Amino acid sequence: MKLPAYSKSIGLYIHIPFCRSKCIYCAFYSITDTNPTEDFIKALKREADLYREQFQGRKFSTIYIGGGTPSILEPDQISEIMEKIFESFEFEDSPEITIEANPESVDLEKAVVWRKLGINRVSLGVQSANDEELKFLGRIHDIKTASRAIEILKKAGFSNINVDLIFGMPGQSVESFKKSIEWVAERGVNHISTYSLTVERGTKLFELSKRIRMPDEETIVKFYRIRDETLKRLGFRRYEISNFARPGFESSHNRIYWFHGEYLGLGPSAASFLYKPQSIRWQNRSNLRAYIKNLHAGKFPPLEKDVVSRDKLLLERIFLYIRTDRGLPGEFKKIVIERTPELSRFFEDSSGKLNFEGMLIADTLALQIYEAIEPLVDEIELD
């Protein structure tokens, strides 16, 4: 029995750790002091130098400039980073290159430069089409600014635009979330990522959640249902638990993660994963000062490294695959169902893909599937 890596590609991630202000729910690593920007770019270029030799001969198929808020950088700063990346690494023909942007920091000059640099996809943090909800989230744009940003991107020639939306805010109605989805779709956007608002330790929302009531499970299921129905009606197809695209606009970079491919991450907090010479994952520490200090001294930034055991690889693969439109291989699913028939009600009839009920409890199911096949673990081929 085989459970292969669905992706043989390698992607490059670059983390830009600056934001104009901190959203109440955000647990990503970013700081609001942009003074060290030049020192950061210098350090990032050195980090690329340090990895250059190790990755010689490997062709990256995607670049993802994330953060933080990469659109906060000036056009010449993004150019400087991209030039260094192209000089340091090799790429397949026509790589998918994404930049994350927030509506308030998009302007035509930047967007035109991004296109000239070969950036062909923008992921825009809109989050909601309701100004009250945006204020609650601590976003600094309003819906007019978001609409303007989408128009600017289209004018600059971007057809591949993703919009992020959040649902499950206290007091948010299912109808309001539906309106946000329709608002985005009306603007000709071809990819929508939707996230349920989660309370992470260390965020302002964590403190706030002690005083306000977050939506209960039953309400969250209603959000999922309206999301799936609305997006389907509008021509979007779910290809991962939280991600929907019109045909041909699925994100290649994110598919590398979900299909257990390899990636190199540059920048503070960025993670990397490689299979050879052994399965290994490492993550730069979330500390810009230490990142800059080490790299300016010619050393790798502080990082944490983990050898990923075979069992962990298998569990990760199950966890990732069942969240996607590809699901588990048919043969694999058959064995799971033979051993644990009660799980069959969470799969679509003829395939290894989860149905709506299965998607709602995907993480729990991944563990149950792993337990079902645990006695056979040594017979499963992973490549």
Q: Can you tell me which of 3, 9, 11, 30 binds ligand SF4, judged by CB under 6 A?
A: 30
What Rg, from alpha-carbon coordinates, does the chain have? 21
> Cβ contacts of residue 235 below 8 Å, gap of 6+?
185, 246
Q: Can you tell me which of 3, 12, 14, 23 binds ligand SF4, judged by CB under 6 A?
A: 23
Closest approach of ligand SF4 to the CB of residue 189, in Å: 18
Q: What is the dihedral of CA 51, 52, 57, 60, to 10 degrees?
A: 70
For 349, left (φ over 0), alpha (ψ -120 to 50), or beta? Answer: alpha
Closest approach of ligand SF4 to the CB of residue 195, in Å: 10
Instruction: By CB under 6 A, tell whether 28 contacts ligand SF4.
Output: yes
Q: Say if CB 19 and CB 69 are below 8 A apart.
A: yes
Q: Of 15 and 333, which has the nearer Cβ to ligand SF4?
A: 15
Q: Of 6 and 206, which has the nearer Cβ to ligand SF4?
A: 206
Q: Of 71 and 230, which has the nearer Cβ to ligand SF4?
A: 71
Stretch that binds ligand SF4, among 67-75, 77-85, 250-258, 272-280 (CB under 6 A): 67-75
Residues 86-105 touching ligand SF4, rule: CB under 6 A, are: 102
Distance CA 97, CA 13 (A): 10
Q: Can you tell me which of 10, 60, 63, 67 binds ligand SF4, judged by CB under 6 A?
A: 67
Size of the site for ligand SF4 (CB under 6 A): 11
Q: Say if CB 355 and CB 365 are below 8 A apart.
A: no
AA letter at 247: P
Q: Say if CB 6 and CB 383 are below 8 A apart.
A: no
Q: Say if CB 215 and CB 176 are below 8 A apart.
A: no
Closest approach of ligand SF4 to the CB of residue 25, in Å: 7
Q: Tokens for 135?
A: 């204020």
Closest approach of ligand SF4 to the CB of residue 31, in Å: 10
Q: Can you tell me which of 10, 16, 19, 185 binds ligand SF4, judged by CB under 6 A?
A: 19
Closest approach of ligand SF4 to the CB of residue 136, in Å: 13
CA distances (Å), origin 56, targets 14, 15, 77, 350: 18, 22, 25, 43
Stretch that binds ligand SF4, among 16-24, 105-113, 215-223, 362-370 (CB under 6 A): 16-24
Instruction: By CB under 6 A, tell whether 254 contacts ligand SF4.
Output: no
Residue 286 three-state SS: coil
Closest approach of ligand SF4 to the CB of residue 37, in Å: 15
In this structure, what DSSP letter does residue 67 have? E
Stretch that binds ligand SF4, among 17-25, 194-202, 306-314, 361-369 (CB under 6 A): 17-25
Q: Can you tell me which of 7, 61, 69, 190 binds ligand SF4, judged by CB under 6 A?
A: 69
Give the CB-side neighbour count of residue 214, counting CA atoms within 13 A: 16
Instruction: By CB under 6 A, tell whether 125 contacts ligand SF4.
Output: yes
Closest residue to ligand SF4, based on beta-carbon distance: 26
CB atoms within 10 A of CB 131: 14
Q: Of 9 and 69, which has the nearer Cβ to ligand SF4?
A: 69
Q: Of 96 and 100, which has the nearer Cβ to ligand SF4?
A: 100
Residue 358 three-state SS: helix
CA distances (Å), origin 350, targets 77, 135, 241: 51, 45, 19
Helical residues (DSSP H) of 264-373, grouped into ranges: 288-296, 310-321, 330-339, 356-360, 362-373
Question: For residue 109, which phi and psi values (nearest 5 degrees)?
Answer: -60, -45
Stretch that binds ligand SF4, among 62-70, 76-84, 285-293, 355-363 (CB under 6 A): 62-70
Closest CA to 150 of 116, 183, 117: 183
Instruction: By CB under 6 A, tell whether 26 contacts ligand SF4.
Output: yes
Stretch that binds ligand SF4, among 8-16, 18-26, 83-91, 278-286 (CB under 6 A): 18-26
Instruction: By CB under 6 A, tell whether 22 contacts ligand SF4.
Output: yes
Strands 90-101 and 59-67: parallel
Q: Of 19 and 274, which has the nearer Cβ to ligand SF4?
A: 19
Residues engaged in binding ligand SF4 (CB under 6 A): 19, 22-23, 26, 28, 30, 67-69, 102, 125
